[in-house]
Amino acid sequence: MIDKIKELISEAESFKAQTKEEVEAFRIKYLGKKGLLNHYFAEFKNVANDQKKEFGQAINTLKNTAQEKVNGLKVELENTTETSSSNTDLSRPGDPIKIGSRHPISIVKNQIINIFSNIGFNVSEGPEIEDDWHNFTALNLPEYHPARDMQDTFFIQTNPDILLRTHTSSVQVRYMENNPPPIRTISPGRVYRNEAISARSHCFFHQLEGLYIDKDVSFADLKQTLQYFTTELFGKSKIRLRPSYFPFTEPSAEIDVYWGLETETDHKITKGTGWLEIGGCGMVDPNVLTNCGIDAEIYSGFAFGVGIDRIAMLLHQIGDIRLLSENDVRFLEQFKSAL
């Protein structure tokens, strides 16, 4: 057994390593808990008394040789690493950093927010899970109104008074309840409708609604605000307001912008008319002001709403609304250079 230990001492002395992993494997083999040294220390009690001294000296020599070899190799490898690092060519170009990308919804939303911020509108936000009062009743939508139908709205099954908001007008109600006029705010956010998913519609999408409440606000103020908005966003200065109906505004109108008929795509998206609908608007119904604690005899105002998804599809020529929510990296990488 002593001869075997002497062979191990010789083997340890001649051991060489190129990597730290090899040094660690050597250490475990000799000095680990289940290594050779512990094995021989355990065998010490079985050695004859006249050989114990020589056996013990051999074990200690093996231990010291292995430990010195591990320490020496570690220092040697560290010095080699430092030398190779110092020889690095610092003039070589680094690896290119991948440029992140913004989502087209975020790009368009930020553009619209900047446009309205320039004329004094602030940004207000609210919960996506709403109650009946803020989503419907306060906005002049009685219980029998079709918008409350299960086909249009996601209600919470355990509580029919709680639902996923169908528009960001609920944020405007909350803002009017907590802020006295004058009010000038926009409310961007995600909304939900119980609709079939297709290339042109989805069960959730993004809206941005605006509200202006003050004394002597007129329909002319609304038109000029929308004129400014469409010119800044689309570069199109020609708009028209078609009479329509919304429960929370009176009178109400659809917002059309003249897109033009210069290309085949223009003909397709405008159905050959050159006009494109981008949202709805109107003067705030006095009942809505009263429900929110604002004196309708003193104050008046206008409201408008546009679909962020639809505008993003127009500006970036996106043919399928589902692409906006599928997180396809190939699609999103196209917007790397967008602000």
**Token representation of residue 297:** 């005899």
Q: CB atoms < 10 A from the CB of 105, how many?
A: 18
Give the CA distances from residue 160 to residues 131, 165, 190, 260, in Å, rounded to whole numbers and listed in that order.
9, 13, 21, 46
Average pLDDT over residues 266-275: 82
**Token representation of residue 117:** 């911020």
Asked if 301 contacts 214 with a C-beta cutoff of 8 angstroms, the reply is yes
Q: Which tops the pLDDT comparison, 18 or 226? A: 226
Average pLDDT over residues 278-306: 95
User: pLDDT tens digits, residue range 153-176?
Assistant: 888 878 878 999 999 999 999 999
Sign for the CA dihedral angle at 81, 83, 86, 92 comes to negative
For 104-335, give the CATH class.
alpha beta
Residue 112 has pLDDT above 70, yes or no: yes
DSSP state string for 80-95: HHHHHHHT--TTSPPP
Q: Looking at residue 6, what is its pLDDT?
A: 76
Full 3-state SS string of 208-239: EEEEEEECCCCHHHHHHHHHHHHHHHHCCCCE
Confidence of residue 81 (pLDDT cuts 50, 70, 90): low
Confidence of residue 212 (pLDDT cuts 50, 70, 90): very high
Residue 275 has pLDDT above 60, yes or no: yes
DSSP state of 216: T
Asked if 190 contacts 230 with a C-beta cutoff of 8 angstroms, the reply is no
Average pLDDT, the chain: 86
Percentage of the residues of the chain whose pLDDT score is greater than 90: 42
Residue with tokens 């606000």: 217
Cα distance between residue 81 and residue 72, in whole Å: 14
DSSP state string for 43-57: HGGGS-GGGHHHHHH
